[in-house]
Copies of this chain bind each other. A is one copy, B any other.
Amino acid sequence: MRLSNLADYAVVAMRAAAGHCGSQMWSAAQLADQTGLPAPTVQKLVSRLSAAGLLRSTRGANGGIRLARPAAAINLADIIEAVEGPIAMTQCSDGPSGCTIEHSCGARPHWPQVNRAIRGALENITLADLAKEDVAA
């Protein structure tokens, strides 16, 4: 029930990218130096976020990374899914699951409802909200 450190760092990095560079080009090394996170970790995050389509990377001498979408169009669910995979409380939520008690698991039909609730809560928080200095609620 606790998201991994990678996802946590991803949120921090994305917030820094959204707040400081806007649509400017930014390098992963600079982002690491600015956030204080380990540089290799930021590289890994950038790799996954780029693969998920949240960041647009440009190679070359003066290359870098920038947001692929406006900050208001990116929410926590997108970031977490990009780093940790699908948001699903249980393995049986999506697929055959492989657990041996499928037939007797009466709780299984109720998990999708929980998943939707969690996902909805995460989708309501966007990068624009996180960029604000004051706490909303």
Q: What residues make up the interface of A, taking CB atoms closer than 8 Å to B?
A: 1-4, 7-8, 11-12, 15-16, 19, 34-37, 76, 80, 84, 87-91, 100-101, 104-107, 109-110, 112-114, 116-118, 120-122, 124-125, 129-131, 133-137
Q: Closest residue of chain B to A14, judged by CB?
A: B107
Which B residues touch A136, using CB under 8 A?
A: 110, 113
**Cβ-defined contact, B110 with A125, below 8 A:** yes
Are B109 and A135 interface neighbours, CB within 8 A? yes
B15 & A106 in contact (Cβ 8 Å cutoff): yes
Q: Smallest distance from the beta carbon of A62 to chain B beta carbons, Å?
A: 26
Give Cα A19 to B33, complex, Å: 55
B129 touches A15 (CB 8 A): no
Beyond the given A2-B87, A35-B101, could you list 9 further A-B residue pairs with CB under 8 A, ordered by the A residue number? A1-B4, A15-B106, A19-B106, A36-B100, A107-B130, A112-B135, A113-B136, A114-B122, A121-B121
Chain B residues with CB under 8 A of A34: 104
Q: Measured between alpha carbons, how far is A15 from B108 in the docked complex, in Å?
A: 11
What are 8 A-B contacts defined by CB distance under 8 Å?
A1-B7, A1-B80, A3-B90, A12-B105, A15-B106, A35-B104, A110-B135, A114-B125
